[in-house]
Structure 1
Amino acid sequence: MPKECPMKSMRYVVMSFGCALFWATTGIFIRGIHGIAGIDIVWLRFFFCSLFSVFYLKKFIAAVSREIIIFPSLLMSGYYICATLSFMYIPIAIATLLVSLSPAVPIVFNICRYRTVRIHEIVSFGLIGGGITLFLWSGNGHSGGVGTHFLIGLILALSSACIRGVFSILIWEKGAKGHAIEGSLINTGTFVYGLILTTPHMVVAYHASMLTYQNMTAAVLLAFVSTYLPTSLNTKASLKVSPFVHQAVGMATPILAGIMAWLALGEKMSGQEITGCCVVLFGLALVLRTRPAQKKAMAKSG
């Protein structure tokens, strides 16, 4: 495989950043939805995203039995469900921190499968994780003890981090081996499977007061800006950017969300939060400066 052009490679890194940026808008739009349970907000995301994907449905149905469609799609459906529900059980800061740990998955994968320890990945992951902890954590971040609800939220948040990391590795490895991957079909499958999985609860919990103009406007924006766009970019970037780099760039999501809340909702940032942002940016700079070899190396070792 020929060496990838640096400018072309950077274009896909920008996609990774765009993915993080769009995912960071999630909290802003969820703030505009009232009187709806978390799982039903997920259903609305899947429902509207399925409508946005209507032009791919015929092709998706024809290819629905292909393994490269089913498993990655179910992974991303599970990610959205687990990540959203985790916020119902544990404080937002803790859930956000745990969900952002997805770069640990490629690190462990490389150690277990390729017997490769990349020190720069571990150092940069530690820096970014430390910066996010500094940004999110406060002395009263969790004071309710470790009960059943907390453990459920912990499992859900860590599961979403693992799922996102596994998805990136799967797409990256399949692409390295020359498999034809149609991102639009995987994305459509994500929304359709998610819709099917969450519909039973929506049927039971439905009430007309949910269908207000404000709720539906916020839900459409949540679906398109915070779900459809980042899901599309996530699949494209996963094909071209190594799993660790893609997930490390994705760790910027909580920082971007904090900045957006500052600009859009007037939630001012403290000195500790600003310091955390700087540490995260330094860690990301280290990631992008020492990006590992491209797919050629992985294809040879596969």
Structure 2
Amino acid sequence: MNRNAILAAGVTSLMWGLTGVLVRLLPSLPALTVTAGRLLIALILVLPALGLLRGSRQRFRSLLGRPMAYVFALLLAGYYLLATAAFQMAPVAEVALLLSTSPLFVLLFRRMRGDIPARAEIIGAGLSVAGIGLLLIPKISFAGEAPMQHLLGSVLAMSAAGLTALYAYLYRILAVRDSAPDTVGVSVLTFAMGSAILLLMVGLMPSPAGLETLTGRSVLLFLGLGTLCTAVPSIGYAFASKRLPAVVTATISLFIPLFAGIFAFVILGERLSPLFFPSGALVLGGIAMILRKCNEVDCTIEL
């Protein structure tokens, strides 16, 4: 098995595990502003590489004439926005755990198209749903703003997982037909479209964008978020996914919640509730069972 690809997948998981911490360390900025800045920085970083690689330039130009490429870019931009907002509202480790449930949604999409899941996949889905319930049900409270914000963050994280699962599922359908667009090109298009649309939305916001609160430290955090947690892992995951079986790449990605929890504890001092550990074991164990049976489905997980 390609060692460089395994290393790229591992580093990608590590960097995505850092995402929530950097989002939380930023000053209180709207999710639109944070996501727009994150994607714009990533775009600025990857454009020179795109210009230097002739093959990448050609693939990107051909991609611009394909409507599905824009659909994929919008799905990923929506994912980035929802995930960023979720990290601002709920504990980092919990959001990372819920974002890792995208294979559960892929299984649902397959079932909707008439693909009957295997028994192991059904059991895995049941375990994951039980774990999600164990994590979320105690937080269903309408007494006070904090519990509602926590619950909303969890819902946004699940919605983000659904978007990336839809991207992965549609992409796999095109890949089977040998008509899937280049993944690196889709990432670049996501950064370009996402930053442009979100910056426009920031400009139209009735409330301040919050940019006046930025300090030198905040700018460094933004650079880290755009570089380490967006540009580098997006390219790294594309590199790994082309050289490793989908199940291997996706399984390595299950380490993201572990990394996120460690980073959040060490850097933010964020402590996990006792229920997080049994619920996390159920969710990740169930997802692992699904992944063992979904070699033919690209169960992509991104942060």
TM range (shorter): 0.7 to 0.9
Looking at structure 1, the residues matched to 188 and 99 of structure 2 have their Cα atoms a distance apart, in angstroms, of 23
Shift of 1:193: 0.6
Identity of aligned residues (%): 24
Looking at structure 2, the residues matched to 234 and 133 of structure 1 have their Cα atoms a distance apart, in angstroms, of 30
* Equivalent residue in structure 2 for 1:226, among 225, 229, 245: 229
Quickly say closer, same or farther: Cα 1:121–1:221, change in 2 above 3 A. same
Shift of 1:189: 0.5
Looking at structure 2, the residues matched to 129 and 245 of structure 1 have their Cα atoms a distance apart, in angstroms, of 22
* Equivalent residue in structure 1 for 2:36, among 33, 37, 43: 43
Counterpart contact for 1:131–1:279, Cα < 8 Å: yes
- 2:70 aligns with 70
Shift of 1:23: 2.1
Quickly say closer, same or farther: Cα 1:293–1:266, change in 2 above 3 A. closer
* Equivalent residue in structure 1 for 2:142, among 141, 144, 148: 144
> How many residues are treated as equivalent by the alignment?
282
Looking at structure 2, the residues matched to 166 and 71 of structure 1 have their Cα atoms a distance apart, in angstroms, of 11
1:55 and 2:45 equivalent? no
- 1:162 aligns with 162
Shift of 1:220: 0.8
Looking at structure 1, the residues matched to 5 and 173 of structure 2 have their Cα atoms a distance apart, in angstroms, of 16
Shift of 1:99: 4.0
- Three-state SS of the structure 2 residue aligned to 1:184 is helix
Counterpart contact for 1:49–1:223, Cα < 8 Å: yes
- 2:176 aligns with 176
Quickly say closer, same or farther: Cα 1:133–1:215, change in 2 above 3 A. farther
1:259 and 2:262 equivalent? yes
* Equivalent residue in structure 1 for 2:21, among 28, 34, 39: 28
Shift of 1:192: 0.5
Q: Deviations over 1:32-82 (max 9, x none)?
A: 211422210111101101111122566346742323532212211111122
1:1-302 mapped onto 2 (5 Å cutoff): 7=1, 18-55=11-48, 59=57, 60=60, 63-86=63-86, 91-92=90-91, 99-131=99-131, 136=135, 139=138, 141-144=139-142, 156-179=156-179, 181-203=181-203, 205-206=208-209, 209-236=212-239, 241-242=245-246, 250=253, 252-269=255-272, 271-279=274-282, 282-283=285-286, 286-287=289-290, 290-294=292-296
TM-score (ref. length: structure 2): 0.73
Counterpart contact for 1:101–1:129, Cα < 8 Å: no
- Three-state SS of the structure 1 residue aligned to 2:102 is coil
Counterpart contact for 1:125–1:248, Cα < 8 Å: no
Quickly say closer, same or farther: Cα 1:169–1:180, change in 2 above 3 A. closer
Quickly say closer, same or farther: Cα 1:132–1:51, change in 2 above 3 A. same
Shift of 1:218: 0.6
- Three-state SS of the structure 2 residue aligned to 1:120 is helix
Alpha-carbon RMSD across the aligned residues, in angstroms, is: 3.8
Quickly say closer, same or farther: Cα 1:98–1:261, change in 2 above 3 A. closer
Counterpart contact for 1:172–1:238, Cα < 8 Å: no
Quickly say closer, same or farther: Cα 1:271–1:97, change in 2 above 3 A. closer
Looking at structure 2, the residues matched to 97 and 282 of structure 1 have their Cα atoms a distance apart, in angstroms, of 12
Shift of 1:22: 2.4
Counterpart contact for 1:76–1:164, Cα < 8 Å: yes
Looking at structure 2, the residues matched to 219 and 269 of structure 1 have their Cα atoms a distance apart, in angstroms, of 26
Structure 2 portions without partners, runs of 5+: 52-56, 298-303
Quickly say closer, same or farther: Cα 1:132–1:25, change in 2 above 3 A. farther
Looking at structure 1, the residues matched to 221 and 175 of structure 2 have their Cα atoms a distance apart, in angstroms, of 36
Looking at structure 1, the residues matched to 181 and 157 of structure 2 have their Cα atoms a distance apart, in angstroms, of 28
Quickly say closer, same or farther: Cα 1:12–1:282, change in 2 above 3 A. farther
Looking at structure 1, the residues matched to 232 and 80 of structure 2 have their Cα atoms a distance apart, in angstroms, of 14
Q: Deviations over 1:93-125 (max 9, x none)?
A: 876565443222221222232432222123223
Quickly say closer, same or farther: Cα 1:63–1:268, change in 2 above 3 A. closer
- Tell me which moved more, 228-237 or 111-120: 228-237
